[in-house]
Amino acid sequence: MKHFFGSLIIAVVAAMVFSAIGYAWIKYDLEKVSDDVASLQNSVQELQDSQRIKPPTNQATNDNGIRVSQTPTGANDVKEHDVYVTRSDDPTSFPDSTELVFDMGSVPEAVLRSNGEIWMYFPSFKNFSGPGDEKIMAAKSTDDGVTWEEIGLITIKNAIEGVTAVDPSLVELDDGRLRMYFFGSTVQPGKDPAQTEGDHNIYSAVSEDGLSFTMEEGVRYSQEKITDPDVVYHPDFGTWLMYVSEGPMTHIITSNDGLEWFDTEFDWTGGGVPGAYVDVDGQVHLYGCGQGGITTETSVDGIIFEGTPETALSTTDSAIICDPSPVLLDDGSVLMVYKKAPAK
């Protein structure tokens, strides 16, 4: 009997020992697997980070990493932006220009004057010190965009304190004056102006000479996270159309007089930072910064776009092209001014 109980005790102790050893071994294995998984996750993340194409630091991004605005965030970045001009008889296909027109410029806007001149407006960053110091340069061409000359920096009388005019869009009124719509940029410490919290406001100012502007009362349109207005008039419907960049999309609003604007439920998903013109047949050609370059699509009323956006302008350079502004010339061809910036 003693022998039996002795053997039983030995068996129990052995079982306890092996159980403890097994538990320790399993615990060791689990900890090792956990460490291996963590190491693998870190390696995958490092690989993704090394392969990911990062947007330029001068671009704001949405949650998906898509560029949503060209509004500058730093002097060194925007000073690498340049303005180019291209031209085509086919509004869906433009050659990428290799001739720089203005250096250290961004978000160009072109407008055809009633006297046949083409005027261009763009933020010039030659003496740029940081957000809030943007200055808009005016230039003109008297030969359908072949050659250009700078006229000077614009001024805005009765400007709102703390608000800087960027992303200009120009239209010529019936009386010959120019109306400039613009995003009223405000600066919050550490933030891209395009990502400032609260409503973003679109304002307007008018000018008789194209250089000295006077603010018009009120806000033309207000909504969170919008930038880059572009305004055209549709003569067939007697309607003003404003396209504003809203992330990677373009939101559409309308007006009867160009001053009081009404929201619509429509967005164009082909791209952001829009530019548009109306052709002789009443078709609205809308362009934006999309996948693969500058995209385009047409619409009868400029509000509902039911087709498929296509790439109208791309580049083989190691550069980002964006900020399209098209102008329909008298001979039926389309001139487009746009920006190039190094891809980083």
Q: Is residue 230 in a domain?
A: yes
Give the integer Cα–Cα distance in Å for 342 and 315.
12
Q: Is residue 195 in a domain?
A: yes
> How many angstroms separate the Cα of 176 from the Cα of each of 116, 148, 234, 301, 332?
12, 21, 18, 25, 22
Q: What is the 3-state secondary structure (H, E, C) of 70-81?
A: CCCCCHHHHCCC
| Domain tally, the chain | 1
Sign of the torsion angle spanned by Cα atoms 8, 9, 12, 15: negative
At 190 the pLDDT is 60
At 35 the pLDDT is 55
CATH number of the domain enclosing 158: 2.120.10.10
pTM of the model: 0.78
Q: Is residue 122 in a domain?
A: yes
Q: Is residue 29 in a domain?
A: no
Give the integer Cα–Cα distance in Å for 285 and 275.
8
Per-residue pLDDT of the chain (344 residues; tens, 9 = 90+): 444 444 444 444 444 444 444 544 444 454 554 455 344 344 434 433 333 333 333 333 333 232 333 333 333 488 999 999 999 999 999 999 998 999 999 999 999 999 999 999 999 999 888 877 889 999 999 999 999 999 999 999 999 999 999 999 999 999 999 999 999 998 766 667 777 888 999 999 999 999 999 999 999 999 999 999 999 999 999 999 999 999 899 999 999 999 999 999 999 999 999 999 999 999 999 999 998 899 999 999 999 999 999 999 999 999 999 999 999 999 999 999 999 999 87
Q: Is 260 exposed, middle or buried (0-12, 13-18, 19+ CB in 10 A)?
A: exposed
Q: Is residue 61 in a domain?
A: no
Q: Is residue 4 in a domain?
A: no
Its domain, for residue 106, covers 76-339
Q: Is residue 27 in a domain?
A: no
Q: What is the 3-state secondary structure (H, E, C) of 83-96?
A: EEEEEECCCCCCCC
At 198 the pLDDT is 86
Q: In the structure encoding, which two tokens stand for residue 62, read together? A: 């949405």
Q: Is residue 14 in a domain?
A: no
